[in-house]
Amino acid sequence: MSFKSWRREPTMITDKIREFIGVETARNLEPGGKSARTIAVCSQKGGVGKTTTAVNLGAAFSHFHEKKVLIVDLDPQGHVEKSLGSIIPDGLDYTPVSASLTSKKGNLLNSIIRTKLDFLDITPGDKALNEAEGVLAAKIGREMILSQALKTTKTHYDYIIVDCPPNLGNLTVNALCAADFVVVPCEMSVLAFEGVTDLLNTLETVNERLNKSLKVLGVLFTRVDGRNITMNQLVEENLKNYFNGNIFKTRISVNTDLNKAQLEGHSIFHFAPSSTGAANYSALAEEIAKKVRKFDA
């Protein structure tokens, strides 16, 4: 066990006890003056770049656009915290996201921690989200719990980015119900077509029944290897049909700096500001900001 994870242990024990007795960490829960746009980064496929996108998109909005950003980690794997580990102070007090979602009138403001960057906050990794998935299933209005828990939080941020787990379960449906927009990362391989209809069905059902304002911002091609021209064309043409041409112009090239940055616990803009990965994610933030402004106009 690394020194860093050892240092965090006492906080987690306190949180477990708090969760057990059902008391949330006390915070100032007064509303702020903002009205966040919420973006879910969603695909049921594993390893397609959801977390890399959530983290670096959030970092780009806060770093270049000076927007106040919260990244919500709904994946029990807790990769957002790991990806930004070097900018997260030790010993912070918070209520685990699972406790905020499963307690009565839970408020996600209690689950947020500040990173060392001025405009970037996250919810820390929480393995108990695995069990929360089942607990949510038994609740009335289970799909809207995150949306409810984010009500006050939205008044404190410009953007909330939700990193979804690699499945289409309750937590992902909650993210889609809380979101204004969804970004679908996708790899350039034949595997990209696997499960696309399931994802589209879920998006359509959520849109029709639960969240009429949900919009697909676009499919984002990740780990693009420009040398695979035929495969890239095949994937693009087919996904264009599935998603009504809703494909981001920006593509994320395969770039090992993105992988190294994640391992170092930094955003790509800190780790390798001149890398292709940094250029791609800053272009993506520009493209998304433009699309969001268009929808808002």
Pick what 258 binds: ligand ATP, Mg ion, none; C-beta below 5 to 8 Å, kind-dependent.
ligand ATP
Residues 191-230 that bind ligand ATP (CB under 6 A): 222-223
Amino acid at 240: K
- Residue 71 CB neighbour total at 10 angstroms: 28
Residues 65-94 vs ligand ATP: string with x where CB under 6 A?
----------x-x-x---------------
Pick what 46 binds: ligand ATP, Mg ion, none; C-beta below 5 to 8 Å, kind-dependent.
ligand ATP
Half-sphere exposure of 223 (CA within 13 A, CB side): 13
Place of tokens 């272009």: 283
Q: Among 31, 45, 82, 86, which Cα is nearest to 196's?
A: 45
Residue 51 or 107 with smaller CB distance to ligand ATP: 51
Among 38, 39, 40, 49, binds ligand ATP (CB under 6 A): 49
β pairing state of 113-114 and 120-122: antiparallel
Phi and psi at residue 277, to the nearest 5°: -60, -45
Among 25, 38, 44, 51, binds Mg ion (CB under 5 A): 51
Pick what 47 binds: ligand ATP, Mg ion, none; C-beta below 5 to 8 Å, kind-dependent.
ligand ATP
What is the size of the binding site for ligand ATP (CB under 6 A)?
Answer: 20
Pick what 85 binds: ligand ATP, Mg ion, none; C-beta below 5 to 8 Å, kind-dependent.
none
**Whole-angstrom Cα distance, residue 294 to residue 264?**
36
Residue 158 or 187 with smaller CB distance to ligand ATP: 187
- Residue 231 CB neighbour total at 10 angstroms: 14
Residues 158-187 that bind ligand ATP (CB under 6 A): 166
Stretch that binds ligand ATP, among 48-56, 85-93, 142-150, 169-177 (CB under 6 A): 48-56
Place of tokens 């959530």: 54
Among 135, 200, 216, 254, binds ligand ATP (CB under 6 A): 254
Among 8, 18, 37, 50, binds ligand ATP (CB under 6 A): 50
Q: What is the DSSP code string of 80-136?
A: HHHHTGGGS-SS-----HHHHHHSTT--GGGG-EE-SSTTEEEPPP-TTHHHHHHHH
Task: State how far the alpha carbon of 238 is from the alpha carbons of 39, 50, 245, in Å.
Answer: 24, 21, 10
Across the chain, which distance is largest between two alpha carbons, in Å? 57
Residues 58-97 vs Mg ion: string with x where CB under 5 A?
---------------------x------------------
Pick what 161 binds: ligand ATP, Mg ion, none; C-beta below 5 to 8 Å, kind-dependent.
none
The DSSP call for residue 193 is G
- For the chain, the C-alpha Rg in angstroms (whole number) is 18
Q: Binding of ligand ATP at residue 252 (CB under 6 A)?
A: yes
The residues of the shown chain that bind ligand ATP, judged by CB under 6 A, are 46-52, 75, 77, 79, 166, 222-223, 252, 254-256, 258-259, 262
